[in-house]
A and B are shown apart, each in its own frame.
Chain A
């Protein structure tokens, strides 16, 4: 069945504009918990959402669209090249993913959750890990329940694993609702990264899998720790407050897109071989020194 051109172009157009709109919005997605709201939180129910089944991998886009100054034609070229790259990448990833086939990120998260919530900045009433993202209706109903009960925190987690260096990166977004209000009282962004020791990458599959499981547990623990730090040491969110000063010297190394980049930010905590810093948008990063 032939589809009209408008129908063919609708999806790419929607996604293109959506991504473009989001690029400059990072800072406004984070919201500090005010002292007043914090005192009103008796306890909190934590819901961790992990919607992916195993490692998700995506080949880089050539960014023809950006080079052309945006536009649908460039975006379609990008998509076509990315598709070819993804298909080429799949064979290698299949072998890698086969070695990690029995690893369950949700299971490791559940195992870490008890520890992570016992030292949380807020008293945790209950915690769970889910695969399914609740529908808008279910979310609204859950938020409404906070009027006469515990506050509700949702932690949305996405993870990637780089095959060569066995670098695990988790990206989490926390949102909290309380007192039945539809507006969030708190939200924060947390990025955790850890590379397995060089001796483990490419070692026997069992050793690799064990190392990855350990990293996943630490990722969940550290993510909850970052959320605690963010709640305990909020960046100013008062209207009219002066812009926050950030150490602009890039000094924290972060693996991304097959390379390592230096990021700038303010040191929030340092412990062992790990530092937590806050970037200019307010996101907290936990990276190895």
Chain B
């Protein structure tokens, strides 16, 4: 019996050992992820978190902070995939014995659809520069990847965006990370984990936008 036999037999062995059916929604490496941004982050049991209706931004944030996003780009070095799962056995000699890629959908569409969530942090996106009081910015997706570790899945999203200030645009990168328990290793779970990362990156971006709106300095990237 060699490693091929073991790998082939693993799904059967695992199903027998667990007494449960095989995952019906497991990762498929032939279909791209939906790249749909959903604002409600699922909790660790895979269900949408029960959240109270968000208070209007104006009630939580003082002042008016509107933004027109004049350009959204997908500047990832690799737009074909967004990470994947790899099988590495534990120990010093562990190597990736196999895995599957997560195929990326439209990164620009994903980023565009996520931008309205800035309102949660008190920034209202507008459809024209005039409506935003000529406060405009550019946002680019620089990196998106998800991976598995033990029973969890993780994500890392990096946005590169400009913050309008009286002294000119400040360009910075914003990182967001997501972690959730991996229940079925499915495409939708990976997408939800990526959305957690995107939401966190946007939260960091919104903090700078609000600082600029309030006339506070925005620190440039080192």
Contact = CB atoms under 8 A, between A and B. Distances in A.
Q: Which of B76, B83, B89, B185 has the most CB of A within 10 A?
A: B89
Interface stretch (A115-123, A183-191, A228-236): A183-191
Given A10-B18, A53-B77, A82 B145 contact: no
A90 interface: yes
A249 to B, nearest CB: 16
A61 interface: yes
B179 A10 contact: no
Contact of B86 (A2, A13, A158): A158
Interface string B61-92: 00000000000000011101111101111111
A261 interface: yes
Given A3-B47, A23-B89, A80-B44, A172 B18 contact: no
A271 B77 CA distance: 35
A131 interface: yes
Nearest to A189: B95
Contacts of A263: 92
Interface residues of A, number: 77
Nearest to A10: B20
B92 A256 contact: yes
Contacts of A275: none
Contact of A133 (B78, B99, B142): B99
B61 to A, nearest CB: 23
Interface residues of B, number: 70
Interface in B29-52: 29-30, 44-47
Contacts, number: 217
Q: Which of B45, B95, B143 has the most CB of A within 10 A?
A: B95
B123 to A, nearest CB: 20
Interface stretch (A32-40, A71-79, A239-247): A71-79
Contacts of B152: 79, 82-83, 86
B14 A17 contact: yes
Given A13-B14, A156-B95, A171-B94, A61 B21 contact: no
Interface stretch (A94-102, A195-203, A212-220): A94-102
A261 B92 contact: yes
Given A56-B147, A101-B173, A132-B80, A184 B184 contact: no
A60 B220 CA distance: 33
B184 A11 contact: yes
Contacts of B13: 17, 21
B96 interface: yes
Given A10-B20, A53-B83, A56-B154, 16 more contacts: A10-B23, A14-B22, A15-B182, A18-B87, A25-B89, A28-B6, A31-B2, A53-B81, A53-B156, A83-B180, A86-B149, A97-B175, A106-B77, A131-B81, A132-B80, A132-B101
Interface of A: 1-3, 6-19, 21-23, 25-26, 28-29, 31, 51-54, 56, 58-59, 61, 75-76, 78-80, 82-83, 86-87, 90, 93-94, 97-99, 101, 104, 106-107, 131-133, 135, 156-158, 171-173, 183-184, 187, 189-191, 205, 254, 256, 261, 263, 279, 281, 283, 285
